[in-house]
Amino acid sequence: MISQETLDIIKSKMQSSNNIVLITGSGIVPFNFETMKYYRDIPIQWVFSPYGILYYPNDFADLLRDHFDFRCVEPTQVHRLITTLAQKFNTTVLTNNMDNLHEKANLTPIHCLGSVEGRMICNLCGQVYGTNERLYSFPECDCGYILQPDVVLFGQQIPEDRWNLMQSKIKESDLIISIGASLNQLPLNQLLVNVEKDKFIIINQTATPLDSLANIVINDDDIISILQYLTK
Ligand SMILES: [Zn+2]
């Protein structure tokens, strides 16, 4: 249980900050892809990768349709509260989530790993499709190869310009609050490993590998109440 005193410290830090970075992760979404270890008995790192497109094309395509179709998924109360926070303070939101639920809650975040709502790309012939329409039928290129959404698959690099943008946002910030991010995966943990302890706050349901780097760590299930207090 979080103490009132800690909440007040966080609130006053937010009020005195000019440049806040909020980080969000799978802890705020209805489906937690990070806890998925296997898809049809194949390690998820194999399926959701360029290797998966090559060797398990049907599984890759089905995985996309099973778990990356967010057309009917609505943003949660946490998304809406984060929008309110971002409107109240000068805030940049970095998200590890590949859905567009922040956008649906009227916020434009930086997608660390890209978004499935964007374009689709063929890794064989190089063709780029402006929409992700094919994701929902069968994600196949005209050349016959399986398309990938414009997200970073396992084994792929984050585009350099996006990496540089995220780094500069972190560097320019005077307060970083991570909300519902497990921080156990690249790129976020790599991005945050050198931040000044004094400006780093972690709010998550469970412990994260970066907890020792943060000034304040809150492990609490009730992220909604915390955000409601901070937005008041
Ligand atoms: Zn192609």
- Looking at 95, 126, 150, the residue that finishes a domain is 150
- Looking at the 3D structure of the chain, how many domains does it have? 2
Residue 145 shares a structural domain with residue 220: no
Output the CA 157–ligand 1 centroid distance in Å. Answer: 20
- The answer to whether the CB of 175 falls within 8 A of the CB of 12 is no
Q: In b/e form, how buried is each residue of 165-175, taking b as 16+ CB within 10 angstroms?
A: ebeebbeebeb
d(CA 138, CA 191): 35
Residue 108 shares a structural domain with residue 221: yes
Here the CATH number for the domain that contains residue 139 is 3.30.1600
Residue 127 shares a structural domain with residue 222: no
The residues whose Cβ lies within 5 A of ligand 1, an ion, are 122, 124-125, 127, 141, 143, 145
Output the CA 139–ligand 1 centroid distance in Å. Answer: 11
Of the candidates 67, 79, 102, 111, the residue annotated as catalytic is 111
Residue 208 shares a structural domain with residue 173: yes
Run means of pLDDT, 10 residues per run, the chain, 232 residues: 90 96 87 79 94 96 91 94 95 94 97 93 96 91 96 94 96 96 83 93 93 93 91 92
What's residue 32's pLDDT? 66
In the residue annotation, 67 being an active-site residue is answered as no
Residue 164 shares a structural domain with residue 54: no
| Helix, strand, or coil (residue 21) | strand
| Helix, strand, or coil (residue 212) | helix
Residue 121 shares a structural domain with residue 107: no
Radius of gyration of the chain (CA): 18
Residue 51 shares a structural domain with residue 100: no
Output the CA 52–ligand 1 centroid distance in Å. Answer: 16
Residue 22 shares a structural domain with residue 50: no
Strand locations in 114-164, DSSP E? 120-122, 128-129, 147-149
Note down the domain range covering 44. Answer: 30-67+117-150
Residue 35 shares a structural domain with residue 22: no
Output the CA 150–ligand 1 centroid distance in Å. Answer: 14
Output the CA 162–ligand 1 centroid distance in Å. Answer: 25
Residue 34 shares a structural domain with residue 146: yes
Strand locations in the chain, DSSP E? 20-24, 38-39, 42-43, 91-95, 110-111, 120-122, 128-129, 147-149, 175-179, 200-204, 216-219
Residue 94 shares a structural domain with residue 107: yes
What's residue 190's pLDDT? 87
Here the CATH number for the domain that contains residue 85 is 3.40.50.1220
What's residue 91's pLDDT? 96
d(CA 207, CA 185): 14
Residue 25 shares a structural domain with residue 40: no
